[in-house]
Amino acid sequence: MSSAPSRPPSPPSAPPQGSGGSHDVEPSDGPAEPKGARRPMGRALLALIAAGAAMLMTSGPLWLTVAGMVAGLAALVFAISAVIHLRKAQRRGLILFSALIAVTVAGFALVSGGVRLAFWDTVSAYETCAAQSVTISGEAACREQMEDGLRGVILPGLN
């Protein structure tokens, strides 16, 4: 047993009650920022990451191309969301620039993935042929076969 005098426990300090509006402040080490001020920056970063993933995935096999298309759509949603919530942010220029880059990259990935899916049979036949070809003339024949297949798909009556 200890002979030290015991102190009564101090009452817990309750945080100040806020209205739940945008004027609540998050605890931080730096200057106080309004709650939700970092969200547009996070959304812009997510948009850039999703756009990069979409760009990488749309050149793979069928399932990866479809996943890349989904990532491209997600990048567009994140970028638009970041721009919509731009008024809360402190680094508006950086967020807007990031969102525009993400929209551009995601748009290109969606277009290239969509074209790849539209001509999937022809492109996959070319990839298989080129992988099995051991000579330059064999690869040229594969390329010619792919071009003929694409002409047949794009211009069905002129082949």
**Which pLDDT score, from 0 to 100, does residue 118 have?**
87
Who has greater pLDDT, 107 or 35? 107
Q: In the chain, pLDDT over 90 holds for what percent of residues?
A: 31
Who has greater pLDDT, 119 or 21? 119
CA distance 138 to 56: 28
Q: What is the pLDDT of residues 39-80, one digit of tens each?
A: 888 888 999 999 999 999 988 888 999 999 999 999 999 999
Lowest mean pLDDT among 5-14, 29-38, 125-134: 29-38
CA distance 133 to 92: 52
H or E element at residue 143: helix 136-154
Q: Is the pLDDT of residue 4 over 80?
A: no
CA distance 32 to 11: 27
DSSP 37-71: TTHHHHHHHHHHHHHHHHHHHTTS-HHHHHHHHHH
Sequence-ordered list of residues with C-beta below 8 angstroms from that of 83, at least 6 positions apart, any chain:
40, 95, 96, 99
